[in-house]
């Protein structure tokens, strides 16, 4: 059975691109969210194996969403999708419980490697 992923990003463009990368590598994208609030809600509903999480979003950013998801499920596997120059925020996200990060613009192979590593 393929592993399930929730893709979180406020840009449809990014959700589509990340979703395509994951689907092509055999993962099942079970849901998408465009804000931190929606991400927390969908995580509870869908219980995906992995979440890809943007940082800058309206209605609760990615770091607060990581905190809430980890509160709900300390074993949640969350991969941060950050931009260049956001090192400080990435550290904050990892301290909040995110497992790893990729930096945009990312290479598809880098995303797949990170996802595979997190899913063991």
Partner 1 sequence: MNQQDKYAQLFAAEAREHLAEMSRALVALEEAPGERGSLDAIFRSVHTIKGMAGAMGYDAATRLAHNVESVLDELRGGRREISPELIDLLLQSTDVLDGVVEATVAGAEPPDPSEVIESLVVWRLADARQTAATEQEETDVVSPPPMSSVSPSNASIRNAASRQETTSST
The site for partner 1 (CB under 8 A) is made up of: 10-14, 16-17, 20, 56-58, 83-84, 104-106
DSSP string, 93-111: HHHHT--EEEEESPPHHHH
Decide whether 29 or 76 has the Cβ nearer to partner 1.
Answer: 29
Rounded to the nearest whole angstrom, what is the least distance from the CB of residue 105 to partner 1 in the complex?
4
Assign 82 to helix, strand or coil.
strand
**Cβ at position 118, least distance to partner 1 in Å:** 21
Q: Which long-range contacts (CB under 8 A, 24 or more apart) does 103-108 make?
A: 104/14, 106/81, 108/21, 108/24, 108/25
Closer residue to partner 1, CB minimum distance, 18 or 50: 18
Contact by Cβ (8 Å): 76, 40: no
- Cβ distance to partner 1 smaller for residue 16 or 72: 16
Q: Compute the least distance from the CB of residue 51 to partner 1, in Å.
A: 18
Q: Choose between 24 and 44: whose C-beta lies nearer to partner 1.
A: 24
């Amino acid at each position: 059975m393929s592993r399930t992923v929730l893709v979180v990003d406020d840009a449809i463009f990014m959700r589509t691109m990340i979703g395509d990368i994951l689907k092509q590598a055999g993962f099942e994208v079970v849901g998408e969210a465009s804000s931190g609030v929606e991400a927390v809600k969908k995580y509870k509903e869908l219980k995906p194996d992995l979440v890809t999480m943007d940082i800058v979003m309206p209605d609760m950013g990615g770091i607060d969403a990581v905190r809430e998801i980890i509160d709900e499920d300390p074993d949640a596997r969350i991969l941060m999708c950050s931009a260049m120059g956001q090192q400080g925020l990435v550290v904050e996200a990892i301290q909040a419980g995110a497992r790893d990060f990729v930096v945009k613009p990312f290479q598809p192979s880098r995303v797949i490697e990170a996802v595979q590593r997190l899913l063991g």
